[in-house]
Chains A and B, each alone.
Chain A
Amino acid sequence: MVNSLRSLHKQVEPAFVIAEREVRDQIRDWRIIFPVLGLTIFFPFFMNFTARQILGFVQQYGADIIADRLVPFLLMIVGFFPISVSLVIALESFVGEKERGSIEPLLNTPLEDWQLYLGKLWAATVPPLLASYLGMTVYLVGLMRKGVTIPGPDLLILIVLLTSVQAVVMVAGAVVVSSQATSIRAANLLASFIIIPVALLIQGESVVMFWGDYKSLWWIVIGLVVLTVLLVRVGLAHFQREELLGREIDVLNIRWMLKLFWETFKGGASSLEEWYRHSLFPTVKGLIKPFIIVTLLAVVGFLAGIRMMDLVDLPAMQFSPEKLRTQLDLLLQNWPLFSVRPMLGIWWQNVRVLLLAMALGSISLGIFGVLPLFTTMGTVGFLFELLTKGGFPVGSFLLLILPHGVVEIPVAILATAAVLKAGAIIATPTTGKTVSEVMVISLAEWSKVMVGLVIPLLLIAAGIEAWATPRLMLLLFHL
């Protein structure tokens, strides 16, 4: 135990050395110290004054509930402001050193990549976070001295945790940006990808705080912890000494991207048959694990839909075979057999949903890419419960879903699995490849699955849904 602790200390020590130097550098930089001091000492006093004024005002009108919610909300704001400085520090952690030419001597040392990365992460997180805690303390002490009731310990812990994980998420994201950007200017431009989501998050948290639903804030804390782990993993996976020195200019090399995309997509095949056999099928084979995960999520989504129906407690839709028959007759008048328009409409709708999955996945390392399928399956579960509770036979419901669903559901799962896999590729260490290379490759792999299987099979499913499913249903009701 002692030996392993000693070994761990030895491993982590270089990261401490990096962090220590950076912190010392920050303390000597007045451009960092002045705003931090302002936000730590003066801003809490100002917030303190604001809180007391608003409390006094709302209490005149008996709106004590606003007063109750305002104090923790302002505490969160007081805590957040100093950590915004961490974003600035983290954004220039790698790219700043690159611009000043001090990164190369550092890269020449026997430091491991993770030690350098961790050192930078600590250096950008710890001082602003300490400043944030100090600011919150100043604010709370000020309130206590004036006799204002401060939030209970559970809420205080929650707000401190929320502030801490927000700081770590921002820093983790900014360090990824800094290690991949070619200049401070580029890093600052890319920072909007961090600032905007965090600003939205703060707004959401504010609403939740005024709502008084503090339990939901714990979910946000857990979500942010997961996001932090993923961001650190992505950052480490794509941290390359070579990249830090190699790239000098921000040029979007479209020709190179297209070439790489096409080479990956084609996979060296010279005919369509060869492409399916030697390029697409190995890709699909690599989707087994995400396919299983997404299938389980689809089942969970279906069950959640059923549960949601129970929770919202809607009156069951009374089943009327005559009404359904009339509706089916009307539908078939508009959808004559082998009419292309309804088929294409259904097909495009499904393709659009799966493109949305990719769009969501691309901003969340594949995670939010499962949402469209999850919510669709939830809707199916909800409808299943709504209809069957009202007397709609289970067999008829299956007939409504299965003819096209046999094709459509596995295909949707496959496409979602491809999105999940694309995100996983980006979050996985890939030696000798740049982030942009990995992104292009993952996009090409996803496109392969979409073009080779998903889009054609969805066309078949749409054909069945437009031409066969309603007729089968009608046939059933005529029998």
Chain B
Amino acid sequence: MIFTEDLTKHFDDFVAVDGIHLDVPVGKVLVLLGPNGAGKTTTVRMLTSILTPTRGRAIVAGYDVVRQAKEVRRVVGVLTEHQGLYNRMNALEYLDFYGRLYGLDTPLARQRSKQFLEQFGLDSVAKKRLGEYSKGMRQKLALVRALLHEPPVLLLDEPTSAMDPESSRMVRDAIRSLRSGDRTFVLCTHNLAEAEELADQVAIIRRGRIISNESPEQLKRDLLGPTEYEARLARSVNGWQPYGFPQEVVLTARGEDWLRFQVKDPLNNNPLLLRKLLNDQLEVLSFQEVPRSLEKAYLEAVSRAAKEEQGG
């Protein structure tokens, strides 16, 4: 659905995006992660045909962003960094206006507007001037604007920024329900929990370059090493000596009544490990995977990239 090859954007001497390769299949969510100024918004703007790439190409829903800009804009819904609402309009007028610009019939636009406003809890304020909306309400309305023409591709820049936890949950649920169809999402966010929850694919972008592009699980494995498991024991392990484990199991930490292992091939090695613990007369109360956050993987990726840059 979205494909880019060597996508590059220069502003005079400044390289904002440098040779990005992306391939997002239909119905998937790609999350672009990166610090401010990394090139996320520039990438999104190239994908919406507002910025012309200096080099490379991008295909969105089968259309070339340079040669078929108008078609690209027709099939893309964009939630921009700034909501950009007109304060003297109300929500229905605002959505009517955008509906007409996207070539929707007024009754159809009105019907969809009402449906989305209700879904996002804005129906009660539909006739209120937008100038009186709170930040969260504005963000939700901007999201409705992006959804109004039911585009197959949604590019969302910080969709839940400025929202309270309840509204954020509402938006995340909406994204999850929309992705079940044929929609493809590109999401720029700083919220790593949100990224972890929604992403099929995470691309970490730094100084215009993609330093990692994997599924969240693969990313964690690549950056944080094999999965860790923790065994909680019924009594103290003082005096117990760790030897005779399978080769691919490494004891990484231990406490008074717990042990933590890194296991390369859990399917084969976890049963062996458990048997070994039981053979050593250790009464295992629980044995579970240690949760590893995307945040840790992200920070690791960024730190490695910084080290490489310093070394290079």
- Residues on A close to B: CB < 8 A? 13-14, 17-18, 21, 24-25, 28-29, 97, 100-112, 241-242, 245-246, 253, 256, 432
Contact = CB atoms under 8 A, between A and B. Distances in A.
B80 A110 contact: no
A112 B174 CA distance: 31
Contacts of B12: 253, 256
Contacts of A28: 88
A270 B78 CA distance: 49
A263 to B, nearest CB: 14
A-B pairs, top 4 by smallest CB distance, nearest first, are: A101-B82, A102-B84, A109-B101, A28-B88
B15 interface: no
Nearest to A115: B101
B245 interface: no
Nearest to B101: A109
A102 B86 contact: yes
A104 B74 contact: no
B86 A21 contact: yes
B241 to A, nearest CB: 64
B83 interface: yes
A155 B162 CA distance: 60
B101 A101 contact: no
A387 to B, nearest CB: 58
B102 A104 contact: no
Contacts of B142: 105
Contacts of A106: 84, 101
Contacts of A104: 50, 78, 80-82, 84
Nearest to B88: A28
B83 to A, nearest CB: 7
B100 interface: yes
A194 B132 CA distance: 36
A246 B52 CA distance: 11
Contacts of B100: 13-14, 17
A105 B78 contact: yes
Nearest to B12: A256
B73 interface: yes
Contacts, number: 76
B42 to A, nearest CB: 10
B70 A246 contact: no
B181 interface: no
Contact of A101 (B51, B76, B84): B84
Given A108-B73, A110-B103, A242-B52, A103 B84 contact: yes
Contacts of A109: 73, 98, 101-102
Contacts of B84: 97, 100-106
Contacts of A97: 84
Contacts of B89: 21, 24-25
Nearest to A103: B84
B201 interface: no
B52 A105 contact: no
Nearest to A10: B103
A105 B262 CA distance: 48
A102 to B, nearest CB: 4
Nearest to A431: B52
A251 to B, nearest CB: 11
Given A21-B97, A101-B83, A110 B70 contact: yes
B240 interface: no
B45 interface: yes
Nearest to B49: A241
Contact of B102 (A110, A112, A241): A110
A53 B249 CA distance: 105
Nearest to A246: B11
Contacts of A245: 45, 50-51
